[in-house]
Structure 1
Amino acid sequence: MHVVIMGCGRVGASMAAALERLDHTVAVIDRDHQAFRRLGPDFHGQQVVGVGYDRGVLIEAGVERAGAFAAVSSGDNSNIISARVARETFGVEHVVARIYDPKRAEVYERLGIPTVATVPWTTDRLLRTLLPDGVASAWRDPTGKVALLNVPVHEDWVGRSVRDFQGATGARVAFIMRFGSGILPTAKTVIQADDQVYVAALSGTVSDVTAAAAAPPEEGS
């Protein structure tokens, strides 16, 4: 597959090298020709000087035969404009844009442009390294709005239903790992000993959800 990358910073150069190792052809676009030094002497793809939303520059980079386009420059506006041109003008099937502002990322997702919100994604990766298992999110959507958590569950939840657990935590049980196999629970599914419970929760509620799951059910609930 031919891949066009807009932005030859550390991320763009790293992606280009990784794609070549996987035997894809690559063209990298950057407005600063000095940036191509990051590619190193082993890079065999195209180096195109220009802006990633210029039609002529994109055509020179081979966008018309590209199966994928990644906009990873340091500018949110440039990334999203380039991604939209690649998708809407040239019909590139797989397009992604790196976005620093998570609020913008949510808007662009609604426009059909997959985004990676760098700040929330990096924050999650750091938390997963720093915090105990089950506290940080196992996955988060690109906008940073929804997180998937493997929550520690208090032993008194054993024998209680998923409906009760969801009511107490305010989160939705996405799936349960039981004896090494994943199951999709219903509201009537009963939590068993040694279950690993994965829940979907909104950002900003992760601490509350984790605390509620780790606490015993309230009396009468």
Structure 2
Amino acid sequence: MHFVIMGCGRVGSSLALTVEQRGHSVAVVDQNADAFRRLGPTFAGRRVTGVGFDHDTLVEAGIHEAGAFAAVSSGDNSNILAARVAREKFDVENVVARIYDPGRAEVYERLGIPTIATVRWTADQVLRRLVPEGAVSEFRDASGRVVLVETPVHDAWVGRPLSALEAAAGVRVAYVTRLGQGVVPVRGMAYQEDDIVHVVVADERVAAAAAVLAAAPEEGA
């Protein structure tokens, strides 16, 4: 597959090198030719100096052959504009834009442009390392309203159906890591000792849900 990447900062250059190592062809677009130094001397892809949403620049980067386009420059407006041009004008199937403002990310998701809300994601990762106990965020939707978290479960829940955990905590169990393997829940599946439970929950309910599951179930739960 041919990839076009707009932005040769730390994210763009790392992405380009990773994609190339996996056997794909890559073109990197950046307004600053000096930025291409981040790619190193072994990078075999195209280095295209120009604006990432400019028609001629994208054509030079091989946008007509591209199966994927990533807009990861430092500007929200540039990223979303470039992503929309790639999707709507050149019909690139796989498009993603990095967005710093999570509020904007939600809007653009509704327009059909997948986004990575950088600030929110980074904050989650930092918090995960600073506060290793309790619920740990693993994924957050672009709006920031829904999260996938790994949450501790009290041993007293062992043998209880996962549906009981869901009802008590107001969550949906997305999957369970059991003996090192991810397992998608099926009807009647029970929580077992040493299971790692990953739940989907509204952002504002993470703490409350984690508190319920970290405690022994109430009588009758």
TM range (shorter): 0.7 to 0.9
Bigger shift: residues 161-170 or 2-11: 161-170
- 1:72-221, aligned counterparts within 5 Å? 72-132=72-132, 135-178=135-178, 182-186=183-187, 188-221=188-221
Bigger shift: residues 11-20 or 61-70: 11-20
Q: Which residue of 2 aligns with 1:13?
A: 13
Q: How many residues align?
A: 220
CA 1:29–1:180 in structure 2 vs 1: closer, same or farther (change >3 Å)?
closer
Q: Which residue of 1 aligns with 2:29?
A: 29
Letter in 2 for 1:184: P
Give how far 1:143 is off. 4.3
Give how far 1:166 is off. 2.1
Question: Contact (CA 8 Å) 1:26, 1:45: kept in 2 or not?
Answer: yes
Q: For residue 129 of structure 2, give the secondary structure of its aligned residue in structure 1.
A: helix
> Using the alignment, how far apart are the partners of 1:216 and 1:194 within structure 2?
15
CA 1:178–1:61 in structure 2 vs 1: closer, same or farther (change >3 Å)?
closer
> Using the alignment, how far apart are the partners of 1:180 and 1:159 within structure 2?
19
Letter in 1 for 2:138: A
**Percent identity, aligned pairs only?**
57
Give how far 1:214 is off. 0.5
Q: For residue 113 of structure 2, give the secondary structure of its aligned residue in structure 1.
A: coil
> Using the alignment, how far apart are the partners of 1:136 and 1:178 within structure 2?
17
Question: Contact (CA 8 Å) 1:150, 1:198: kept in 2 or not?
Answer: yes
Bigger shift: residues 138-147 or 113-122: 138-147
Bigger shift: residues 121-130 or 109-118: 121-130
> Using the alignment, how far apart are the partners of 1:198 and 1:57 within structure 2?
43
CA 1:175–1:35 in structure 2 vs 1: closer, same or farther (change >3 Å)?
closer
Question: Contact (CA 8 Å) 2:174, 2:184: kept in 1 or not?
Answer: no
TM-score (norm 1): 0.88
CA 1:153–1:88 in structure 2 vs 1: closer, same or farther (change >3 Å)?
same
Report the RMSD for the aligned CA atoms in angstroms.
2.2
> Using the alignment, how far apart are the partners of 1:195 and 1:13 within structure 2?
38
Letter in 1 for 2:109: E
Question: Contact (CA 8 Å) 1:72, 1:79: kept in 2 or not?
Answer: yes
Question: Contact (CA 8 Å) 1:175, 1:185: kept in 2 or not?
Answer: no
CA 1:85–1:154 in structure 2 vs 1: closer, same or farther (change >3 Å)?
same
Letter in 1 for 2:55: R
Give how far 1:105 is off. 1.1
Letter in 2 for 1:150: E
Structure 1: tracts of 5 or more residues without a match: none
> Using the alignment, how far apart are the partners of 1:16 and 1:185 within structure 2?
39
Q: For residue 92 of structure 1, give the secondary structure of its aligned residue in structure 2.
A: coil
